[in-house]
Chains A and B, each alone.
Chain A
Amino acid sequence: MPEALLLLQAAADTSHAYGEFPLIGARAAVWIAAEVHLMFAAFVLGVPMFAVVTEAIGIFGGDERYDRLSKEFTRLLLVAYSATAIWGTILVFFLATLYPKFFAYLLAVFAPSTWVYAGLFFVESFTLYLYYYGWDRWKKGRAKVGHWTLGILLNVWGTIVMFIANSWLTYMMTPPRDITPSTDPTTIKLWHAIANATWMPINVHRLIANVVFGGAIVGAYASYRFLAARTEDERAHYDWMGYVGNFIAMSALIVLPFAGYWLGREIYQYDQSMGITMMGGFMSWLWVIQAFLIAVLFLTGNYYLWIGMGRIPGAERFRPYTKWLLVILVLGAIVWGTPHTMIADSKELAAMGGSHHPFLGALGVMSAKNTAVNLMILTTFLSFLLYRRANTRPVVPWARTGTLIQGAMFAIAAGIVLFYGIRGYFVEAIVRIGFSVYQVLAVLACILCVTVIDLLMARGAQSLGAIRWGKMPPRSQYALFILAVTFTWLMGLMGFARSGIRQYWHVWQVMQDTSAYAATPALGYAAKMISLCVLIFLSLVAFVFWLGGLAEKSTFVAAAPGVSPGTRGAQHVGH
C-alpha cells in the first residue's frame, strides 16, 4: 500500500531528515539561494547567446560596432559567472545541511550527472576566459573566426550544463511512472530519470527564455549607461545598444508562449491533477498576474519603439497609425487579464449569480485569451515593421504590390485568429484546444512571409536619412528598465507556479515533504519572497553594471592624462 509506505516515510523523517535555518527558516533560505542562482544562471546563459550573435553580425556584416558590443558584454560575464558559482555553492550547502535526506536521494539517482556538471562548469569557465582575454589577440581573419568558435563553444557548454540541472528539477516534478516510493534510488537508471516527461519542454522553454532575458539585461545595462552618459557619442552608442537588446528580447518573446504551451500540455498529460492545480486551481491567480505582466511587456516594448521613431527621419508618415496599434494592445491587455473567477464580495457575487460574470466571463476563457495574445503579437510585429521601414523608401518596381500583399497577410492572419477565437465558443473543449494551434500557425506564417517580403523589398532602398542615435528622451530608457525588471519578476513568479504544483512532495508522489514547511506557501507570501529575490538579484546586477563602468573609466584616465576624472564632458574610450 503506497499510503502505508508514505506514513512510514513520514515517521522515519522525524529526525535527521531536515535542518533548521535561523530567522527565516530552511525553506526560505533554500528558496532565495535557488532563485537568485537561477537568475544569475539565466544571465550567464542568455548574455553569451547575445554576445555570440552580435559578434557574428560584426564579422559577417563588417560592422565593428557589433564586435565592441559583444566584447563589452563578455566583460560583464566574468563577474556574473563568479556570482552564479557563489550562489550555486550556497544552494548546494543549504540543500546538504537543511534537506540532507532529500539531497542524498537526488544524489543517489543523479550522482554521475553532477560530476559531469562540475567538469563542464570548469571547461565553460576557461572557455570564457579564453574568449574574453583573447578578444584583441585573435582579431582578424581566420583567428577571428576561431575566436567566434570559442563563443559558440561557450554556449554549447552552458546549454549542456543547463540541460543537466533541468533534469534534476524536472525529475522532481515528473518522475517516470514506474518509480514509486519503494523504488531504491540507486537502482534507477540515470538516463531513465533524466529523460522524464517535462525535461525537453523545460529545456526548450528555458533556452528561449534565456535569449529574452539576455536581451532584456543588455537593454537595462544600455539604458543605465545612456542615462549616465556624458557625451553625445556615448549616448548614441548606448541608445543603439538598448535598441539591439530590446529587439532581441522582443523577437524571442514572441515565440516563448508556444514553448510554454508545450510545457503546460506535457504537465497536463503527465498528471491531470497537477495541470488543474496549475491553471485552474489555486495557482491560477498567478496566470492572471502573468497576463498582466506580459501585457506590460508588450506595451512597454511597443512604447520604446514608438518613442524611438522620433529619432528616425521619415517615421512621421507612420506616426498616425501608432495610436490604433495602442488601442489593439490595450483592448488585448484587458481581455487577456480578465479573470474567469473574479474576486468579488458577497453582494457582487449575488448580483453576478456566482463568481463568473455573466457577460465578461466570456473574456475569461482560453478562446478569448488566445485571440487577444495572438493579436497583440501581430500588432507588436507590425510596430517593428513600421520602425524598420521608417527611414527607407523601397525602390523595387513591385514595392506597392509587395506592401499590399503584406497588408493582406496581416488581415488574413488576424481573420484566422478571430475566426477560431469566436468559433471556440461553439465547440467542445477538446476541439477548442486544437484551435490554438491554428491561431499560432497563422501568426507565425504571417511573421515569416512578411519578413521575407520585407527583406527582398528593402534591397537597394532609398534612405530618408540616418537614424539619429542618442536623440531619445530619458523616459524611453526607463521603459527598458521596466522590461528587465518585469522579465525577472515573471521568471520568479512562474517558476514558483511550476515548482509549487508539486505541493507537499519533494518528488511528485515518490518522496513526500515531511518537514515543517511542507505546506504550499500562500500566494501573498510567495509574491513577497519572489519580489525579495528579484530585488537581491537586481541589486547585485546593478553592482555588476557599475563594475563594468569602473573598469572602463580607469582605462580612460590612463589614456588621457591631464583631464581630471569625472569632469563633465570627459570622453570615454571605445565608443
Chain B
Amino acid sequence: MNLRRYADHPFWQAVGIVVAAYAVIVYVVPLLPGSALVPKSVVLQYMATVLVGVLIYVSDNEERWASFREPIHAALVEPRLRLVRAGLLVAVPALVGLVAYGQVRTTVAAPPNLRSIHPAPPAEITFRGKSITLTGLDNPLRQHPESTPAYTAEGKRIYYQNCLPCHGDHLDGQGHYAAGFNPIPANFQDNGTIAQLTESFVFWRVAKGGPGLPREGTPWNSAMPRWEDFLTEREIWSVILFLYDQTGWTPRTWERSQGGAR
C-alpha cells in the first residue's frame, strides 16, 4: 500500500525516473550486444536532458507541481523531519564537495580530447609534383572492372606490408602497435570512417598522412605517415580498393549535377 502511494507521488516518480535513467545509461547500455561504456560527457548530456524532462513533467500542471513540492517543503520546515533535514544538510554539501573533488583531483590519465575527426579536404593536392583534383574524383582503378581482383590483391599485399602494424589484421584499428597511440588508429570496420567517405578523401589521407592535415582544428593527433613518400599513386588506390572490398563498405559517391561532377 505504502509503496503504491510513493509510486503515485510526483516527487518520488521524479526521483525514480532520474535514478532509472542513470542506471540504464551507465549500466544497461554497456551490457547490450556489441556496446561499450558510455563516456562521462555523454552521460552528463543525457542526464541533463532527462532532468529537464522530469522538471517539465512535475511542473506542467498546478496540482502535480503542488504535490511535488510537498515533501521538499516538509523536509525543510516540519519539526518531525529534523533528522532528515540534518542528514540533507550534511549529504548535499558533501555530494557537491565530492563532485568538485572529482573534477579537480590529479590523475594520471590524459584529459579528454575534443577531437574533430573529419578534417576538410582540399579541392586539389600535389602528389609527387603532379596536381590531382580531389573534387569529383573516383578511384581510377575501378574504370577497369576486369582488373579489379588483381588490383585488390595488390592492395592486400601492400596493406599487410605497410598498414597492418597499426590498423590491424581485422582492419579495426587494433594492430600490434595500436595501444601505443592516443587516439588509436582508425577503425575501418566502423560505420563512421571509410563508410562515410569518398575514395578521393581516403586517398588524400593516405597520401598526406598526419603532416598533411589542414591548418584549422590544429593541433592534430595523428601518427599516420605521408605515404606518398613510400607508395606510388597506383599502390595507394589499390590499398583503398582492398579496404572497401575487405570491410564490405561502399565508398561515398559524388553528387552529379547538371554542370558536371562536384
Taken together as a complex, chains A and B put the C-alpha atoms of A319 and B64 apart, in Å, by: 12
* Residue A507 at the chain B interface, CB threshold 8 Å: no
Stretch at the interface among B72-80, B119-127, B226-234: B119-127
* Residue A282 at the chain B interface, CB threshold 8 Å: yes
* Residue A386 at the chain B interface, CB threshold 8 Å: no
Are B36 and A359 in touch, CB under 8 angstroms? Answer: yes
Binary CB contact string for chain A from 486 to 524 against chain B (1 if under 8 A, 0 otherwise): 000000000000000001100000000000000010000
Are B119 and A345 in touch, CB under 8 angstroms? Answer: no
Binary CB contact string for chain B from 214 to 226 against chain A (1 if under 8 A, 0 otherwise): 1111000000000
Main secondary structure of the interface of B (DSSP, over half): loop
Residue numbers in B under 8 Å from A361 (CB-CB): 190-192
Are A357 and B34 in touch, CB under 8 angstroms? Answer: no
* Residue A8 at the chain B interface, CB threshold 8 Å: no
Binary CB contact string for chain B from 187 to 210 against chain A (1 if under 8 A, 0 otherwise): 100111000100000000000000
Q: Which of B38, B39, B115, B135 is in CB contact (< 8 Å) with A272?
A: B135
Contacts of B62-86 to chain A: CB distance below 8 A: 62, 65
Are B190 and A428 in touch, CB under 8 angstroms? Answer: no
Chain A's interface size range is 35 or more
Are A343 and B114 in touch, CB under 8 angstroms? Answer: yes
Q: Which residue of A lies closest to B48 (CB)?
A: A292
Are A299 and B38 in touch, CB under 8 angstroms? Answer: no
Residue numbers in B under 8 Å from A350 (CB-CB): 179, 184
Residue numbers in A under 8 Å from B187 (CB-CB): 353-354, 356
Taken together as a complex, chains A and B put the C-alpha atoms of A309 and B250 apart, in Å, by: 51
* Residue A355 at the chain B interface, CB threshold 8 Å: yes
Q: Which of A284, A360, A365, A430 is in CB contact (< 8 Å) with B252?
A: A430
Q: Which residue of A lies closest to B44 (CB)?
A: A343
Stretch at the interface among A10-18, A124-132, A273-281, A451-459: A273-281
Residue numbers in A under 8 Å from B148 (CB-CB): none
Q: Which residue of B lies closest to A296 (CB)?
A: B52
Taken together as a complex, chains A and B put the C-alpha atoms of A285 and B174 apart, in Å, by: 27
Task: Using A272-B123, A281-B120, A430-B255 as known contacts, say yes or no to A352 and B112 having CB atoms under 8 A apart.
Answer: no
Residue numbers in A under 8 Å from B122 (CB-CB): 273
* Residue A306 at the chain B interface, CB threshold 8 Å: yes
* Residue B2 at the chain A interface, CB threshold 8 Å: no
Query: Shortest beta-carbon distance, B214 to chain A, in Å?
Result: 8
* Residue B41 at the chain A interface, CB threshold 8 Å: yes
What are some 17 contacts across the A-B interface (CB < 8 A)? A275-B120, A276-B120, A284-B116, A292-B49, A299-B52, A306-B56, A330-B50, A343-B41, A344-B112, A354-B186, A356-B190, A359-B36, A360-B35, A360-B42, A361-B190, A428-B253, A473-B65
Q: Which are the 5 A-B pairs with shortest beta-carbon distances?
A: A280-B118, A359-B35, A330-B53, A282-B217, A344-B39
Instruction: Spell out B's residues near A (CB within 8 Å).
Output: 29, 32, 34-42, 45-46, 49-50, 52-53, 56-57, 59-62, 65, 109-123, 135, 172-174, 179, 182-184, 186-187, 190-192, 196, 214-217, 250, 252-255, 257, 262
Instruction: Spell out A's residues near B (CB within 8 Å).
Output: 269, 271-277, 280-282, 284-285, 292, 295-296, 299, 302-303, 306-307, 309-310, 319, 322-323, 326-327, 329-330, 333-334, 337-362, 364-365, 428-430, 433, 473, 475, 503-504, 520
